[in-house]
Structure 1
Amino acid sequence: MRVGLLFGGWSYEAFLSATPAIEKSLIRNGHDVVLIDCANNMLPSILKESKIEVAFLSSHGYYHEDGRLQGICDWIDLPYTGANHFSSAICMNKELFKHAISGFNEHNTPYANIKSLEDLKKDNVNHVFTLGKAIIKPITSGASIGIKIIEHKNQLEEDLVKLLGDYGECIIEPFIEINREFSIVVHDLLGEIEVMDICEILTNGDFFDFEMKNGYQDIKKTIPAELDEQLEEKLKIISKSVYEKLGVDGVARIDILVDSTNRINILEANTLPGLMPQSVVPSVFSNQGIEYDKLIEMILMRSFSPKRFTSKKQYGNQPKLSIDVLM
């Protein structure tokens, strides 16, 4: 099969890619691989002219995980890996995601959306700091890029100037003291939604920052996590609900914090999770007997099944309107 492996792009996360590992795996699986850099305004034409049969998305961040790249593929009828454009957009935007999962979350803490320094005067910014130190994040970045812990409000303006300049809109919320951090892999690669063994990220109490998350520091993972039966079941039910209710397709990674009272705080649903061999998703599948090449093939084949929250194009089937309506 002729597979387009899409990488790169304009996001700060563009270099965080498993492209080399995925390319080798696709070749081992017998596919003809075409590497396509997404950082090109002519991408729709390039995809059409490449004569690929399917797009394997291995680019990350803004423009790539937020529904735009998925929308391009939908527009030209090109099958692609991962979630549909609608779910991708919601899961990538931290404020939209907060609204979407509020019914599942047990830590619905106050937050503020900040687009400019003027927003620092808002009451909800002050409310965030009544609960202690805060955390500020770009609203549409992943991989812990741009995240800052703010100890005191008087530190906020200095950090915010840089963040707004680099990333644009941000969100600020109370910093929840981490007790335990979990990644739960959910997928529908075999036709039914399945929740895999839970992975616990062991950070020795440190914040799971950019360096840790992206392989610049060694982190330990426990798969399956050592959990009491009640908490394990609760985490799996919530993760499946988030996946299902937001209409996610393919493989997703739901990241969750659990505090010392076992209250759950859902951090994100990553619709294009990292696929480096040592990443959480391949590690979880490997632990359950599915090795890397098989996983890559399963993700690829899922592309040809219908995605959720999408409909067929209505080629020429528009209702006929009377002349009076048209005029």
Structure 2
Amino acid sequence: MKTLNVALLAGGFTGEYEVSINSAKNIAASLDASKYTVYTILINRDNWVYETGQGSIDIDKNDFSLTLNGEKIKFEFAFITVHGTPGEDGKLQGYLDMIGIPYNTCDSTTSAITMNKAYTKAIVQGIHGLHTARSIQLHQHDEHDIATISSTLKFPLFIKPNNGGSSVGMSKVYNVSGLHEAIEKAFKEDTQVLIEEFIEGREFSIGIARLNGKVTVLPATEIISSKDFFDYEAKYTPGVSKEITPADLPEAKNREIADIVTQIYLRLNCRGMVRIDFILLEGSQEFYFIEVNTTPGQSANSLIPQQVRAAGMSVTDFYGQLIEGAM
């Protein structure tokens, strides 16, 4: 039986390059070799390459192909696992749309919108049961009045790049004295900064995907960090955070959460798998939206693979369903 030529796109232009490489290794090892021939393509600012034992071979971006041992291999599907630009912000999706290659993620419009935290919050406002933290968006070339920010929002505050992932450039500030430095730190990562009020509660992350034509919500993961908040170190340093999958939640709460995240998925016109991060407010247990991740990490111990296994599925079948659904 002929296999499908799959280009597994990894790397990218950000500090999440190595995280993406780890995701690609797990995906390549998990895809069914009887159905898919997988070529891991490393993307950086200079070129797209396929690594062989003898060196690197450039990808022909004119028709998305690879010439290997004199044979031209045309890719029939792209599995994007680039975290950050250009795989999470819609740029790769736009290229693939233009040349007619199907892929596993949200389309270019949804990817671009969800990369912008402030825009995403504005779109999901009004979903029943969903709340968002009060916030202010800053642009790099505008004036930033520290006094106005501190009088408008209630401390502590989270300061984060508006278009970023993995909490790079993020700070938690308890009073006005730390605000300027935190804003400057965030502006080193992006030209827009989002300042949000801190929401006290339990933090969760939940995967959702369209499988066999049906929107399927995976079991939630509770994240308990030994640090003050779930930053880059807490995400990627073993032992810093504890992840409980499935999360210890009442069945009624799980149903409520599943309904909210399904509405988020549909309103944003998501495709494939996404991960939605949220907080349940201390006391009232109200759902506070944090963000949507359209290319979530896929290393063996990442949250989505954890949740897939907790749902009683194999990761191999899960990835296969994503490919077949996108085809």
**TM bracket (short chain):** 0.7 to 0.9
Normalising by the residue count of structure 2, what TM-score does the alignment of the two structures yield?
0.84
Q: Could you tell me which residue of structure 2 aligns to residue 110 of structure 1? A: 134
The question of 1:277 aligning with 2:277 is answered no
Q: Closer, same or farther in 2 for the Cα pair 1:159/1:218, shift >3 Å? A: closer
Normalising by the residue count of structure 1, what TM-score does the alignment of the two structures yield?
0.84
Q: Could you tell me which residue of structure 2 aligns to residue 22 of structure 1? A: 27
Q: Could you tell me which residue of structure 1 aligns to residue 277 of structure 2? A: 255
Which is worse superposed, 92-101 or 195-204?
195-204
Q: Which amino acid aligns with 1:77?
A: G
Q: Could you tell me which residue of structure 2 aligns to residue 309 of structure 1? A: none
Q: Closer, same or farther in 2 for the Cα pair 1:55/1:8, shift >3 Å? A: same
The question of 1:62 aligning with 2:69 is answered no
How many angstroms apart in 1 are the aligned matches of 2:12 and 2:254?
A: 38
Q: Could you tell me which residue of structure 2 aligns to residue 211 of structure 1? A: 233
Q: Closer, same or farther in 2 for the Cα pair 1:22/1:76, shift >3 Å? A: same
Q: Closer, same or farther in 2 for the Cα pair 1:205/1:166, shift >3 Å? A: closer
Which of the residues 49, 61, 70 maps onto 2:65? 49
Q: Could you tell me which residue of structure 1 aligns to residue 51 of structure 2? A: none
Deviation for aligned residue 1:293: 2.0
Q: Could you tell me which residue of structure 2 aligns to residue 308 of structure 1? A: none
* Matched length: 302
How many angstroms apart in 1 are the aligned matches of 2:159 and 2:39?
A: 38
How many angstroms apart in 2 are the aligned matches of 1:210 and 1:164?
A: 17
How many angstroms apart in 1 are the aligned matches of 2:174 and 2:63?
A: 47
Contact 2:103 2:326 (8 Å CA) reproduced: yes
Helix, strand or coil at the partner of 2:274: strand
Q: Could you tell me which residue of structure 2 aligns to residue 238 of structure 1? A: 260
Deviation for aligned residue 1:224: 2.6
Deviation for aligned residue 1:46: 5.9
The question of 1:35 aligning with 2:40 is answered yes
Helix, strand or coil at the partner of 1:146: coil
Contact 1:3 1:33 (8 Å CA) reproduced: yes
Structure 1 residue runs without a partner (length 5+): 305-327
Contact 1:112 1:124 (8 Å CA) reproduced: no
Which is worse superposed, 11-20 or 200-209?
200-209
Structure 1 or 2: larger strand share? 2
Helix, strand or coil at the partner of 2:19: coil
How many angstroms apart in 2 are the aligned matches of 1:34 and 1:229?
A: 42
How many angstroms apart in 1 are the aligned matches of 2:130 and 2:214?
A: 27
Which of the residues 169, 174, 186 maps onto 1:163? 186
- Between the aligned residues of both structures, percent identity stands at 29
Q: Could you tell me which residue of structure 1 aligns to residue 112 of structure 2? A: 89
Deviation for aligned residue 1:138: 0.6
How many angstroms apart in 1 are the aligned matches of 2:165 and 2:152?
A: 22
Q: Which amino acid aligns with 1:49?
A: S
Deviation for aligned residue 1:228: 2.6
Q: Which whole-Å deviations, capped at 9, do the CAs of 1:61-90 have from their partners, x for residues lacking one?
A: 132211111111101101111111121112
Q: Could you tell me which residue of structure 1 aligns to residue 171 of structure 2? A: 148
How many angstroms apart in 2 are the aligned matches of 1:264 and 1:41?
A: 42
Which is worse superposed, 69-78 or 120-129?
120-129
Q: Closer, same or farther in 2 for the Cα pair 1:201/1:47, shift >3 Å? A: farther
Q: Which amino acid aligns with 2:24?
A: T
Helix, strand or coil at the partner of 1:176: coil
Contact 1:253 1:271 (8 Å CA) reproduced: yes
How many angstroms apart in 1 are the aligned matches of 2:97 and 2:155?
A: 45
Q: Could you tell me which residue of structure 2 aligns to residue 120 of structure 1? A: 144
The question of 1:101 aligning with 2:124 is answered yes
Deviation for aligned residue 1:13: 1.9
Q: Which amino acid aligns with 2:83?
A: H
